[in-house]
Amino acid sequence: MEEKEIKERIRNGRNFMKFRAEDEYSDFMSDQQLKKPQPPLCKEKSSECVIPLSKDFDALNISKDFTTILMERKSSRVYTQHAMTLLQLSYLLYMTQGVKEIKGENYATMRTVPSGGARHGFETYLIVNHVEGLKAGRYHYLPLTHELEYLGSIKQAENIIDETLVGQKWAVKANVIFYWSFVAYRCEWRYGIYAHRPALIDAGHVGENLYLACSALGLGTCCLAAFDDHSCNETFKLDGEEEFVVYAAPVGTID
Ligand SMILES: Cc1cc2nc3c(=O)[nH]c(=O)nc-3n(C[C@H](O)[C@H](O)[C@H](O)COP(=O)(O)O)c2cc1C
């Protein structure tokens, strides 16, 4: 890559981070301001194979106090491939994207993570390797009903994990890999040209909640910004334009 192009891309990256500083767009109106219809709060289910998830989190017997959970948070890249239960996975899904309340006439979801304007632009997809009670394969989380839908098996899962996570081979031993996509218009409807910086900040909250939930359960995770956009989108049949993967995290048992 030529130096000129590198400089240009760096400038674009910085401008994206400080975008709100531009005041020349003060006449901008979002689709919400233009009274266009609001997009759905979540993606509809697309499979007939739906697995209900329990919210009996007391049964997990979490005994660590909050300070210990925070202090023990760390990135783990070595997984022991022991059993992980469906209730543990249910906890991780609920603590990262779970819906606590719906506001207004389907105007907004209130979740276990914050989100700019309560837009919650993400969908959660999983590659399950070994979770008790689930067959291996691809899944999608349905946050409104706290269910998982099975999207299908994967041939050569190890290769797909390796490819989607750009050769981070240690992730192949995870019990489950989380991939979060961004459904762009869900946030753009409200914020338009200003939607994208807050959305990435939102992703950070989701990742941190996964870290803390794993810390509470004694599981290991490591949030990943290094992933292959194209193969992630292809794995979950996302168009890469309206919806695309923005963050990932393997989760596994640890010593
Ligand atoms: C946004 C973000 C992206 C990251 N991407 C990767 C990654 O692609 N590969 C990796 O091995 N670790 C990744 N990490 C983990 C960091 O390397 C890790 O948080 C850092 O080394 C500090 O270690 P700690 O989390 O144990 O405190 C990422 C962390 C964050 C928050």
Rounded CA separation 181/227 (Å): 12
The total number of residues written for the chain in this structure: 255
Question: Can you give the residue ranges of every domain in the chain?
Answer: 3-253
Residue 122 pairs in a beta bridge with: 182
Q: Which residues contact 175 (CB under 8 A, 6 or more apart)?
A: 79, 81, 84, 128, 129, 130, 131, 251, 252, 253
What are the tens digits of pLDDT across the range 66-111? 999 999 999 999 999 998 999 999 999 999 999 999 999 999 999 9
- Percent over 90 (pLDDT), the chain: 95
Read off the pLDDT band of 237 (50, 70, 90).
Answer: very high
Pick 3-253's CATH classification: 2.40.100.10, 3.40.190.10, 3.40.109.10, 3.30.70.1560: 3.40.109.10
The pLDDT value given to residue 172: 98
Read off the pLDDT band of 27 (50, 70, 90).
Answer: confident
The pLDDT value given to residue 20: 72
Under DSSP, is residue 216 helix (H, G, I), strand (E, B) or coil?
Answer: helix
Nearest CA to ligand 1 atom 19: 75
Helix axes 196-217, 184-191, angle to 10 degrees: 130
Nearest CA to ligand 1 atom 29: 223
* pTM tops 0.85: yes
What are the DSSP calls for 150-184, one per residue? EEE--TTHHHHHHHHTTT-GGGGG-SEEEEEEEEH
| φ, ψ (nearest 5 deg) of residue 100 | -95, -30
Its sign, for the CA torsion 100, 186, 41, 21, is: positive
Under DSSP, is residue 43 helix (H, G, I), strand (E, B) or coil?
Answer: coil
Pocket test for ligand 1, best of 170, 206, 223, 227 (most atoms within 8 A of CB): 223
The pLDDT value given to residue 81: 97
Q: Which residues contact 117 (CB under 8 A, 6 or more apart)?
A: 108, 187, 190, 191, 198
Pocket test for ligand 1, best of 17, 73, 75 (most atoms within 8 A of CB): 75
The pLDDT value given to residue 19: 78
The pairing of strands 147-152 and 122-128 is unpaired
